[in-house]
């Protein structure tokens, strides 16, 4: 079955730029979405179709894909960006989520 692999955790200092990766076989041929989830809240779509940002999502969030690895980049990271982040793609008529990455703002 298809899998999306994310690092379990990423740390960043306030104001710095950080990236969270998501790897999968043949990912370059699929669209990748990214979700932010804060404790006790529902997931929030922050990136869709690899690099598009929904209305209301700050420009500090950007998405990219290179080869079989997608990346969510957060520039000027703030304490409020501390959350779990999940990538997601569609493969063989199923929705696949990555295992999630806990972003810690130190």
Partner 1 sequence: QLQLQESGPGLVKSSETLSLTCTVSGGSIGPSSYYWGWIRQPPGRGLEWIATIYYTGTTYYNPSLKSRVTISIDTSKNQFSLKLTSVTAADTAVYYCARQIFSCSGGTCYPDYFDYWGQGTLVTVSS
Q: Which is nearer to partner 1, 13 or 93 (CB)?
A: 93
Nearest distance from residue 81's CB to partner 1, in Å? 19
DSSP 37: E
Pairing of strands 9-12, 44-47: unpaired
Give the integer Cα–Cα distance in Å for 44 and 69: 21
Cα dihedral 46→94→84→37 (10° resolution): 60
Q: Which is nearer to partner 1, 9 or 16 (CB)?
A: 9
Nearer to partner 1, 8 or 16 (CB): 8
Min dist CB 45 to partner 1, Å, is: 5
Instruction: Name residues whose C-beta falls within 8 Å of residue 68's C-beta, 6 or more positions apart in sequence.
Output: 23, 24, 25, 26, 27, 28
Is 1 or 13 the residue whose CB approaches partner 1 more closely?
1
Tokens of 14: 């306030």
CB of 89 to partner 1, least distance (A): 8
Point out which residues bind partner 1 (CB under 8 A).
1, 29-31, 33, 35, 37, 42-45, 48-49, 54, 84, 86, 88, 90, 93-100
């Amino acid at each position: 079955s298809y899998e999306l692999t994310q690092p379990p955790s990423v740390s960043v200092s306030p104001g710095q730029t950080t990236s969270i990766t998501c790897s999968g076989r043949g990912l370059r041929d699929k669209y990748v979405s990214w979700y932010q989830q804060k404790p006790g809240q529902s997931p929030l779509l922050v990136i869709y179709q690899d690099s598009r940002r929904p209305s209301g999502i700050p420009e500090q969030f950007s998405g990219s894909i290179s080869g079989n690895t997608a990346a969510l980049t957060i520039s000027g990271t703030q304490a409020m960006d501390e959350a779990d982040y999940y990538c997601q793609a569609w493969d063989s008529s199923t929705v696949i989520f990555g295992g999630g990455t806990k972003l810690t703002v130190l």
